[in-house]
Amino acid sequence: MSDTPFATHTLFITGPTYVRPEVRAAGAWPEFGHRDSENAKRFEPIFTDLRAIAELPEDYKTILFLGSGSTAMEAAVRSLVASDETVLHVSMGAFGDLWHKISLENGKKAAKLAVEPGRTATVAALEAAMDAHRPAVVAITHNETSTGVTSDVAALCRVAKARGALAIVDGVSIFGGAPSGIAASGCDMYCTATQKSLGLNAGFGIGFVSPAAIDKAGHVTARGHATDILAHLGRAAKFQTQSTPNVALGNQMWLQLNYIVRQEGIAARFARHAAMREQAVAFVAALPGYGLFAEQGHRSPTVTTAVVPAGMTFADLRAAKEAMRARGYLFDPGYAKLNEDLEAAGRRPIFRIGHMGDITPAMLKGFLDALGEVLPR
């Protein structure tokens, strides 16, 4: 008999995601003082292992923000975009739009290069947008969670840098599931979080910042408090957070990052995610009437998106979600606003298959077998 009053489902959504039992158990380890010597026993390995997973250049710094990936994304805007400057957001979907909205809500001059959902931004489109808007900062989505599209972040960052702008990247739903590309891209701030491909609970935003970003922040006013990257650096140098962290998550993170780096292995983890993408792609391709939504060559290793057959609706997908719940799975019927927009335009809605973090190919097979029985043909 379960010791919880709540239903238990295995999550195949795009975050929060499945957390291994060992990691859950670590949340019950003893609490500790975040300014005590015990803190370093957890957080020094955490900072070290994050650097390893990111393949971080030696001169970049790591910051742990209290919150989520959007906290790190807001910090990038608040700390790196001056009041008289423009930030250009390259948006491939809902979360690129969110970052643009965050900039506007912080009073920044924000322009947007919008890309058709399911496709990625091209170098030529970014060059034209930069020529038009002359931004000081370009914000790029590495992995668009709403559409399952992965961008060529290195190529796009090189365009931004070549025109004298800083490049900031949202890697929230891919970090821990594929290479970050920080070294290759030369991006100035890479933002991510704990609750997706790292296989942890939510609670920390993560920022990797370049020397150029640190220098730029010194010339930007009104950086806020929790969003000021300079205010975090002194504590980060001591393997600490700016304010009191979720210490239970700190214990879990210590365990999980050690597992990723020293037990599963970083390369093996990335290969597992790539294999699960192929597994999900093959499943969709074999369903009569269904199709793949994300552009070929840019399909995410952490989330696969599929277009439903003609005549099937978003309401049908929500019904499939409840049928999958009865089988012990949490199914993602697609990003609601995107599906509403698609249907309003007379287009077919999509659903998402999350295969990130510690989901295994065997777990994914069980989910896909059940989903194949539930989805209308």
> Is residue 2 in some structural domain?
no
Say if residue 248 is in the same domain as residue 314: no
The domain that contains 165 carries what CATH number? Answer: 3.40.640.10
Per-residue pLDDT at 35: 95
Run of H or E residues at 100: helix 94-105
Say if residue 221 is in the same domain as residue 342: no
pTM: 0.97
Say if residue 28 is in the same domain as residue 79: yes
CA distance 157 to 149: 17
Per-residue pLDDT at 6: 86
Say if residue 118 is in the same domain as residue 241: yes
Per the structure, the count of domains in the chain is: 2
> Is residue 1 in some structural domain?
no
Say if residue 64 is in the same domain as residue 156: yes
Q: Last residue of some domain: 262, 287, 308? A: 262
| CA–CA distances in Å: residue 111 to residues 99, 149, 224 | 11, 21, 22
> Is residue 250 in some structural domain?
yes
> Is residue 319 in some structural domain?
yes
Angle of helix 247-258 relative to helix 37-54, nearest 10 degrees?
A: 50
Say if residue 242 is in the same domain as residue 270: no
Say if residue 253 is in the same domain as residue 308: no
Q: Can you list the positions of beta strands (E) in the chain?
A: 10-11, 61-67, 86-91, 109-114, 137-141, 143-144, 149-150, 166-170, 189-193, 203-209, 291-292, 303-307, 329-330, 350-354
What is the domain extent for residue 359?
A: 10-15+265-374
- Of the candidates 157, 156, 77, 69, the residue with the CA atom closest to the CA atom of residue 110: 77
Say if residue 57 is in the same domain as residue 126: yes
Q: Last residue of some domain: 262, 296, 327? A: 262
Phi, psi of 169 (to 5 degrees): -130, 135
> Is residue 72 in some structural domain?
yes
> Is residue 4 in some structural domain?
no
> Is residue 226 in some structural domain?
yes
Per-residue pLDDT at 4: 80
Residue 137 makes CB contacts below 8 A (sequence gap 6+) with 77, 80, 81, 85, 86, 87, 88, 165, 166, 167, 168
Which residues are paired to 175 by β-bridges? 178
From first CA to last CA, the distance across the chain in angstroms is 36
What letter represents residue 145's amino acid?
Answer: T
Q: pLDDT tens, position by position, for the chain (377 residues)?
A: 357 888 789 999 999 999 999 999 999 999 999 999 999 999 999 999 999 999 999 999 999 999 999 999 999 999 999 999 999 999 999 999 999 999 999 999 999 999 999 999 999 999 999 999 999 999 999 999 999 999 999 999 999 999 999 999 999 999 999 999 999 999 999 999 999 999 999 999 999 999 999 999 999 999 999 999 999 999 999 999 999 999 999 999 999 999 999 999 999 999 999 999 999 999 999 999 999 999 999 999 999 999 999 999 999 999 999 999 999 999 999 999 999 999 999 999 999 999 999 999 999 999 999 999 999 87
Say if residue 173 is in the same domain as residue 51: yes
Per-residue pLDDT at 2: 53
| Region class of 265: left (phi > 0), else alpha (psi between -120 and 50), else beta | left
Say if residue 217 is in the same domain as residue 242: yes
Q: Which 3 state secondary structure label does DSSP give 220?
A: coil
Say if residue 341 is in the same domain as residue 271: yes
The domain that contains 337 carries what CATH number? Answer: 3.90.1150.10
Residue 74 makes CB contacts below 8 A (sequence gap 6+) with 102, 106, 227
